[in-house]
Amino acid sequence: MSVVVYEHPLSPYAQKVKIALEEKGVPFDARMPEAIGSGRTGGEFARANPRGEVPVLLDGGVALFDSSVILAYVEERWPEPALFPADPVARARVRTIEEVMDTHYEANTWALGEIRAFGRATGDRAARLEARAQRELALWHRWLDARLGGAEWFGGERFGAPDLCVAPFVNGAAGWGYPPEPGSALADWHARVNRRQSVANAARAAVEASAASSGAGLDAVRQLLEQGLFKREYRDHRLEWMVKQGGLDIVAEGIEKSNVRFVDPPE
């Protein structure tokens, strides 16, 4: 039975999984869940993931969710070529980078989407929130630059798990207009990693999905959002970002309009 990945091209978490599978030469069937974003997904996707979010990986009788869990499974299920280092200290450093990208870094790109794409803030307020996201991204870029330490890849001499954990998120920030600082080691790495076929494929699919959802398509999604028929999931790190940046009433308004959702236990 072939491997199935439930995904959305714009999800950096799903991109991590797709890049890892491509690097290992594992063929997979990429599918988008029905009614994604409605909070009412169903079928095998919903049975596999009570969060109702991508990615989900199906491998025969195995059904997994959470990109970090899936990435660890992929490494053990298909060990060659290895994406994680053998040394336990180096592996712990990979997981640290992954955790930072999945939470602290992603909260900023998520917020930019909430502001620009979904219009949760406008005018001076939107400008203030975006300025804070820009500042935090610049600080995280500095942190990543230090982790890179002048090496070609985050793991040293060869592409690996830390690179695929970073690339989709930095590509997302660059898409909003906030790439790494020109001339920095991170900027050089960013150009280099996007020449890798697996990363380029994921990035191209994201750009195509973004183009397809812009214009009239985005207007339609905004209307669904206003009606509470399209819901954005506020995971813990995203909620924390909005609260600490003074956007608590944005969350409250979203709850009132029923276009903000949180994870519910499975029924």
* Domain presence at residue 27: yes
Q: Give the three-class secondary structure for 4.
A: strand
Range of the domain at 57: 3-77
Tally of domains within the chain: 1
What is the tens place of the pLDDT at every residue in 3-16? 999 999 999 999 99
Whether the pLDDT of residue 1 is over 70: the answer is no
* Domain presence at residue 112: no
Going by pLDDT thresholds of 50, 70 and 90, the confidence category of residue 213 is confident
- Return the closest-CA partner of residue 71 out of 17, 24, 27: 17
* Domain presence at residue 13: yes
For the entire predicted model, the pTM comes to 0.95
Q: What is the CATH number of the domain that holds 62?
A: 3.40.30.10
pLDDT at 38: 63
Contact 179, 112 (CB under 8 A): no
* Domain presence at residue 113: no
Going by pLDDT thresholds of 50, 70 and 90, the confidence category of residue 182 is very high
What is the tens place of the pLDDT at every residue in 78-136? 999 999 999 999 999 999 999 999 999 999 999 999 999 999 999 999 999 999 999 99
* Domain presence at residue 64: yes
* Domain presence at residue 68: yes
Length of the chain: 267
* Domain presence at residue 53: yes
User: What DSSP element (H or E) covers 211?
Assistant: helix 197-213
pLDDT at 43: 82
* Domain presence at residue 52: yes
What is the average pLDDT across 196-224? 89
CA atoms within 13 A on the CB side of 212: 9
